[in-house]
A and B are shown apart, each in its own frame.
Chain A
């Protein structure tokens, strides 16, 4: 029997989708060995209300730490708290997400514990004395199976890679105290600027519409924004070339040096499909490509392709998607 630890990421008092992914994955690991899932949830006063949602995805125990200095992500305080809970709980695996926050948090936690760590994990299993994980290397061109020999093993899941499963547990809440003074951090968040309004993040949206140079200008992205609007559950991404040109912010960049996404549906608009871009989206479940050049490499990995001018195809697709959504 092995208990599994999971971390629940929150922003502005709301759970991130990756929090539920972590709990879902931890539940699967715990069920394989008959153990419990203990989830750490840190935030300002009132965050305990979110415990029920974690229970719905399989948390047996929710360790809640409420403190004003934990309202925003506070790297030093949360790393110290997580390491302390993982150490005292004797867990076999500690499950985090390789989100922006997770990338920052997980190595700190592993360092404090002095244990093995792998990020961007697409599959994890406890096999004998080892935790074996799949982890794409060389921009996804090769898949490594890595073996973590330490207990606990610290892993960061690839965001969007875990299909959420409901598996309701009682989610017993236990209040825990911060380690040291969480206000004493050497790194302080001065300001947080939320991105453009209520738009979904490319790492969490079920549909991602990404644009490239084929859109011809920053204004050309209006076609992409319109299509995203028509879907209602879509986020907008971009290639490195158009981010370098300043058409879109680097935060929307998908690929080798940008974000890695795995949405249900990925629509590549005016994107030729350079290998560096494919690195960021090749694990999407369904890929659609719209490009004028029928020889473009993007068509090699697309499930469905339309050869044509984006200025002509996109408005037609936007209208058709709007119509399809209406009839739901």
Chain B
């Protein structure tokens, strides 16, 4: 089975973000970057399928500046076989543009499965995987938290609001991964050494026209300062009064 996994380098969300002077991007100075959590679970899912089958290839793709190669190396050190870096000055906000560039690279790869994380916390759109599926005319199942493959077909579990859905799909397919599918392995020292020798080719990303651009960035309005109503059960009557008369939610 030939599997691709598309991964994104994202900043650590614990950071205090600052808006750049241009007003449309974030200042990256001092930010720590790593592979998107959802994408790490996607890599893990691909590796588990390959290990179970006892054969196959896992190819990792990432679009972005040169530093995206570090993210690919991390996936290689987890056990992926080779990497493809689609070079771009920056990762555009427009998910369609990203999908177009990925699809252009993936289309001649005859992949049976293409994995994505279900979303990334920075641009927070969650659209790249399904758009790639449409562009390649692959079947697509999003936000999976369970997966089984047998006889060239797959069954996936999806969490909906207040319900679980079990779907059957045919190959080739795009799958996007939700939390709960697995726990991503840490790269072993051996894995890190091996990754240094693995193939990682870099080529320009074919982004095409962007249709969505950031006009401005702003910090969210502060919530008005709250108050500590009191301590222990004795504070309950006052809380209930405030919820009824001030917040009017009870």
Binding site for B on A (CB under 8 A): 11, 73, 75-76, 79, 99-101, 103-104, 106-108, 110-112, 115-120, 132, 135-150, 186-195, 199-204, 206-207, 240, 243, 249-251, 253, 256-258, 264-265, 275-276, 279, 282, 285-288, 294, 299-309, 312-313, 315-317, 320-321, 324-325
Contact = CB atoms under 8 A, between A and B. Distances in A.
A116 B94 contact: yes
B230 to A, nearest CB: 6
B199 interface: no
Interface residues of B, number: 84
Interface string B159-186: 1111111111110010000111000000
A184 to B, nearest CB: 11
B240 to A, nearest CB: 5
B29 interface: no
Contacts, number: 271
Contacts of B228: 294, 299, 305-307
A313 B133 CA distance: 50
Contacts of B55: none
B200 interface: no
Contacts of B130: 104, 107-108, 111
Contacts of B128: 107
Given A135-B124, A250-B179, A149 B231 contact: no
Which 9 A-B pairs rank lowest in CB-CB distance, beginning with the nearest? Answer: A116-B211, A111-B134, A186-B139, A107-B127, A316-B233, A107-B130, A308-B232, A195-B162, A201-B162
Interface in B181-220: 211-220
B142 A103 contact: yes
Contacts of B232: 306-309, 312-313
Nearest to B161: A201
Contact of A120 (B124, B141, B168): B124
Given A108-B134, A265-B247, A191 B218 contact: no
Nearest to A294: B228
B125 interface: yes
Given A137-B124, A257-B37, A306-B230, A142 B218 contact: yes
B236 A100 contact: no
A302 B220 contact: no
A3 B216 CA distance: 27
Nearest to A259: B161
Contact of B239 (A115, A285, A288): A288
Contact of B96 (A110, A137, A145, A146): A110
B166 A191 contact: yes
19 contacts: A100-B158, A107-B127, A110-B96, A111-B134, A116-B94, A138-B11, A139-B121, A141-B17, A142-B26, A187-B170, A193-B163, A195-B164, A199-B162, A256-B13, A265-B243, A265-B249, A287-B226, A306-B231, A312-B232
Given A138-B13, A142-B219, A313 B160 contact: no
A48 to B, nearest CB: 24
A320 B242 CA distance: 13
B7 interface: no
Contact of A111 (B96, B180, B242): B96
Contact of A258 (B135, B179, B230): B179
B249 A264 contact: yes
Contacts of B140: 75, 108, 187
B211 A148 contact: yes
A250 B173 CA distance: 25
A304 B159 contact: no
A306 B229 contact: yes
Nearest to B230: A306
A187 B162 contact: no
Contact of B162 (A112, A251, A307, A320): A251
Contacts of A312: 232-233
Nearest to B227: A304
Contacts of A101: 160
Nearest to A317: B236
A258 B132 CA distance: 23
